[in-house]
Structure 1
Amino acid sequence: MGDDGSEQSWPAWAHTAASVAIGLLLIAVPVVVVGYGHFSDEGGDPGQRRVRPTGPSPSGPTDVTPTGSPTPDPLPTASGETCVPGNTTGLTVVSFNIKSAHGADGTVQLDLLASTLASWKPDLVLLQEVDKNQARTGRVDQPAYLGQKLRFYSTFGANMSTRSGGQYGTALLSRYPILSVENTRLPRLPGDEPRGLLHAVVDVDGTKLSAYVVHLQHTSATARLSQMTTIQRIVTADPLPKIIGGDFNTGPGSAVMGLARSFASDTWAAVGAGPGLTVPRVAPRRRIDYLLQSGLVPQDMRVLTPTVSDHRALWARLALDASGKVCLPDFGRGKRKP
Structure 2
Amino acid sequence: MRTISVLGFWAVLVMISCARKTVPAGSQAGKDAITFMSYNVHHCNPPSKPGVIDVDAVVRVIKKENPDVVALQEIDVNTGRSGKINQAALLSEKTGYHSFHFSKSIDHDGGDYGIMILSKYPLSDMATHKLPTDPATGGEPRVLSLATVTLPGGKKIRVASTHLDFHGKTNGKLQMTEVNRILADERLPVIIGGDFNATEKSETIQLLDKAFTRTCHNCAFTIEEGKEKQAIDFIAYKPGNAFSVLSHHVVAEDYASDHRPVQAVLKIGF
2:100 to 146, 150, 154: 154
What residue is the counterpart of 1:258 in the other structure?
Answer: 206
Residue matched to 1:96: 39
Of the candidates 154, 179, 182, which is equivalent to residue 127 of structure 2?
A: 182
Q: How far apart are 1:219 and its partner, in Å?
A: 1.2
Question: Which amino acid in structure 2 is aligned with residue 229 of structure 1?
Answer: T
For 1:198-209, list aligned pairs within 5 A: 198-205=145-152, 206-209=154-157
Residues 1-338 of structure 1: matches in 2 within 5 Å? Answer: 88-103=31-46, 104-106=48-50, 107-152=52-97, 153-162=99-108, 164=110, 166-190=111-135, 191-205=138-152, 206-269=154-217, 275-280=219-224, 285-294=229-238, 295-306=242-253, 307-321=255-269, 324=270
Alpha-carbon distance between aligned partners in 1 of 2:219 and 2:124, rounded to the nearest angstrom: 36
Instruction: Measure, in 2, the Cα distance between the counterparts of 1:118 and 1:278.
Output: 19
| Percentage of identical aligned residues | 29
Q: Helix, strand or coil: the match of 1:122?
A: coil
Distance change in 2, residues 1:128/1:91 (3 Å): same
- Could you say what the CA RMSD is over the residues aligned between the two structures, in angstroms? 1.7
**After superposition, what is the alpha-carbon deviation per residue over 1:197-240, rounded to whole angstroms, capped at 9, x for unaligned?**
00111111211111111111111221111111111111111111
Q: Kindly tell me: are residues 264 and 163 of structure 1, through their superposed partners in 2, closer, same or farther at Cα, counting changes over 3 Å?
A: same
Give the TM-score of the pair, scaled to structure 1: 0.66
SS in 2 for 1:111: helix
Q: CA deviation at 1:262?
A: 0.9
Greater share of residues in strand: 2
Counterpart of 1:220 in 2: which secondary structure? coil
Q: Which ranges in structure 1 are unaligned for 5 or more consecutive residues?
A: 1-86, 325-338
Runs (4+) off by over 2 Å: 281-284
What does residue 67 of structure 1 align with? none
**1:89 offset after TM fit, Å?**
2.0
Tell me the TM-score normalised to structure 2 length: 0.81
- Unpaired runs of 5+ residues, structure 2, are 1-29
Measured in 2, the distance between the counterparts of 1:216 and 1:118 equals 26
Larger Rg: 1
Aligned residues: 231
1:94–1:125 Cα contact (<8 Å) kept: yes
Equivalent position SS for 1:221: coil
| Contact 1:143/1:172 (8 A) holds in 2 | no
